[in-house]
Structure 1
Amino acid sequence: MPPSADRRHAGRVLLGLLVPGLVLLGTGRPELMLYAVFGSFAGMYGRREGPAERLRHQFHGAGMLVTGVALGATLAATDAGSGVLLVAVTGFATLGSLVTDALRLRPGGPFFGIFALGATATVDPGLVGPLGAVLICATTATWCLALGLVARTPSASTPPDPSRSLPAGAGAQAARYALATAAAGLAGLVLGVDHANWAMTAAAVPLAIVTAGDPLDLRAVVERAGHRVAGTFAGLLVTAVVLLPEPRPAMLALVVMVLLFPTELFLSRHHGIALGFFTPLIMLMTELAAPAEPLGLLLARGVDTVLGVAAGVAAAALVPGRER
């Protein structure tokens, strides 16, 4: 059982989504839950930090998430093609890697921002305009920052790090993100799988275990990739159990909110277990925003995950770095 500090943090993250989620349900717009979920991810930063440092890291994380949603919603509204999306996600991943390394964000890397950009770019532009999408995401993120300010300070907090310079190896790590996301996106387009943006997002997962400035541990990258695949397929089984009976949108929205708690509870301790909850969360919020045939959606998610993690591991192996 995770310690009480982790349970309190996961509860805070859940509360960060619960309030805006219930507002969306009360106004009859559960299909907009996707934008609130991305805003709630801001609460995942600063897990074991004091209020000041937690606020700084959550603010920077919120900035990345809101930017991703703004770019994605704009691409959706302008009906940008898959080639434009591939270039946008690759560029965002590369720049995001440099920025998150400079800011020493934890969770590390631009994964959540990549996810926000790719997912919102593939939603029907008639669902909500770019301004509405950004407002939902930013308002939720602001609520999460407020919760972080009033939360109890952990007994062992991380001392503030005023440095903003790039750590050694940040350039190589950014190159890995560029190579991984571009290769995953291209593979998805060539193979014609649906939701190729999921492959690009999955490509970032094995790289998130790499900390710029530390020696490259390729074994850890492969292990993280294995956790991603195993956790995703376990989560797809859970998703099938929920989706196949065709529940009402309000029920799906409630399940999405509930799943955020165990996702965050296990995220820093066992990535595979966390993915068993995170995957259905992703799938259900996608189904709310863009309803699709369930079996096809599950198949696309599985294929994209395998493509993505393979690209991420390959990028880690190909781009030079100090070996552990």
Structure 2
Amino acid sequence: MNKSPAWAKLLDSLFEVRQTERLWHIPLLASLCAGIPLAAGLYFGQLRYGILASTAALVILYLPASTVAHRMITMLACSFGILVCFTTGIIFSFNEIVSSIVFGVLSFAIQWVANYFRMKPPGSFFFIMIAAIASCNPFDAATIPAKVGIVGMGTMLACVLAFTYSLYIVRRIPAGTEVIQIKRKPYHNTVESAIMGVFMGLSLVIAHLLKWQNPYWVPISCLAVLQGVSLHHVWQRSLHRILGTFVGLGITWLILHLPITPLFICISIFVLQFMVEMLIVRHYGLAVVFITPLTIFLAEAGSAMTTDPNVLIPARMLEIAVGSVIGAFAGWFIHHEQLRERAARHLRKTRVMIMKK
């Protein structure tokens, strides 16, 4: 029997909805982590800080299905990682080139650690995402402590909700101890992480050189595509992201023509977050349709009520398309077995030569 061509598989993936055993509890937890800080920010008239805390609180998505002790250790470790990524990114945001270089190095380190400990999805995604957002923040040394504190509060909320939920769920569904798996190919991990770091930094540099208003859209789109586990999966995600974004931007364009209020944005983010987490494990392209308005509301909460949708939407489409294309090229390098093997061999030889001296 002849195998289907690659393009046919890509087209088939547009209509394939996967089955999943994921409980609806996690989407609800993610929505609460996004909604509670937003409600607090709306109440105190600090919606932007509320959105920053909401983004940090998505660390809840790293909650494993294990014992209460292991769940909380994982949450605390990931929360610390989120704080380190955000703090590093915002400290070096004073210069576009320096920020891009540091972001590339930070992406390398994050990816290396995620691969070394074989972190399950979303893996390195949210750590690199929050580093990208921080790297593109307008530099103001006086506000850095407050912003870092807000991020810490967001992760604290996630830990409290995770602990409360864990006490409930382990009584209902007993979980075994999850053993941490360590990757045993350090050279291959280094090569893959280095490629990730180079393309993350490069995508941010390109966005800065093009003088785009929100340059972090490019590396985040690049990163989303690179979450694929194989080259075919990377190209599939790239296609899904571009098509899903196109549909999602059309929906966002319609929404932005409605009377927009801060309360409307908060409710929309809560609902959209739930929809995304319900769909992301079933169909990536369909999830992207909801991810698009969600991310725009999160990133453009202040300006969404005043910006002309006819200007905002084309700008986001271009940035996401460029990031997806860069991610597809990066995926080719990461999943090129001969290239990775050759680079790992050179690293091994270099280390041996250094040890002999």
TM-score of the pair, normalised by structure 1: 0.84
The amino acid across from 2:84 in the alignment is: T
- Contact kept, 8 Å, 2:222 with 2:327, in 1: the verdict is yes
Note if 1:176 corresponds to 2:195: yes
- Contact kept, 8 Å, 1:12 with 1:43, in 2: the verdict is yes
In the alignment, which residue of structure 2 is the partner of 1:241? 254
For residues 130 and 322 of structure 1, do their structure 2 counterparts lie closer, same or farther at Cα, with a shift above 3 Å needed?
A: same
- Contact kept, 8 Å, 1:9 with 1:47, in 2: the verdict is no
For residues 17 and 144 of structure 1, do their structure 2 counterparts lie closer, same or farther at Cα, with a shift above 3 Å needed?
A: same
Bigger CA drift: 116-125 or 29-38?
A: 116-125
Note if 1:68 corresponds to 2:68: no
In the alignment, which residue of structure 2 is the partner of 1:56? 73
Provide Cα deviations, 1:146-180, integer angstroms capped at 9, x if missing partner. Answer: 22223213748574224555655322320231232
Note if 1:227 corresponds to 2:240: yes
In the alignment, which residue of structure 2 is the partner of 1:7? 24
In the alignment, the residues of structure 2 paired with residue 264 and residue 88 of structure 1 have an alpha-carbon distance, to the nearest angstrom, of 31
For residues 180 and 47 of structure 1, do their structure 2 counterparts lie closer, same or farther at Cα, with a shift above 3 Å needed?
A: same
In the alignment, which residue of structure 1 is the partner of 2:265? 252
In the alignment, which residue of structure 2 is the partner of 1:46? 63
Provide Cα deviations, 1:116-172, integer angstroms capped at 9, x if missing partner. Answer: 122234345579822222222211212212222232137485742245556553223
The alpha-carbon deviation at position 97 of structure 1 amounts to 0.1
Q: 1:28 aligns with which of 42, 45, 48?
A: 45
User: What runs of 5+ residues in structure 2 fail to find an aligned partner?
Assistant: 1-16, 339-357
Provide Cα deviations, 1:255-284, integer angstroms capped at 9, x if missing partner. Answer: 222221111222222222222222211111
- Contact kept, 8 Å, 2:33 with 2:54, in 1: the verdict is no
Q: 1:205 aligns with which of 207, 214, 224?
A: 224
For residues 103 and 60 of structure 1, do their structure 2 counterparts lie closer, same or farther at Cα, with a shift above 3 Å needed?
A: farther
- Contact kept, 8 Å, 1:14 with 1:260, in 2: the verdict is yes
For residues 208 and 159 of structure 1, do their structure 2 counterparts lie closer, same or farther at Cα, with a shift above 3 Å needed?
A: farther
The amino acid across from 1:51 in the alignment is: V
In the alignment, which residue of structure 2 is the partner of 1:213? none
In the alignment, the residues of structure 2 paired with residue 3 and residue 163 of structure 1 have an alpha-carbon distance, to the nearest angstrom, of 23
In the alignment, the residues of structure 1 paired with residue 240 and residue 55 of structure 2 have an alpha-carbon distance, to the nearest angstrom, of 22
How many residue pairs get matched?
Answer: 314
In the alignment, which residue of structure 2 is the partner of 1:318? 333
- Which structure 2 residues correspond to residues 82-93 of structure 1 after superposition, within 5 A? 82-93=96-107
For residues 135 and 288 of structure 1, do their structure 2 counterparts lie closer, same or farther at Cα, with a shift above 3 Å needed?
A: same
User: What runs of 5+ residues in structure 1 fail to find an aligned partner?
Assistant: 211-216
Q: Percent of counterpart pairs with the same letter? A: 18
Name segments (4+ residues, structure 1) moved above 6 Å.
Answer: 1-4
TM-score of the pair, normalised by structure 2: 0.77
SS in structure 2 of the partner of residue 180 of structure 1: helix
- Rg larger in 1 or in 2? 2
The alpha-carbon deviation at position 207 of structure 1 amounts to 1.9
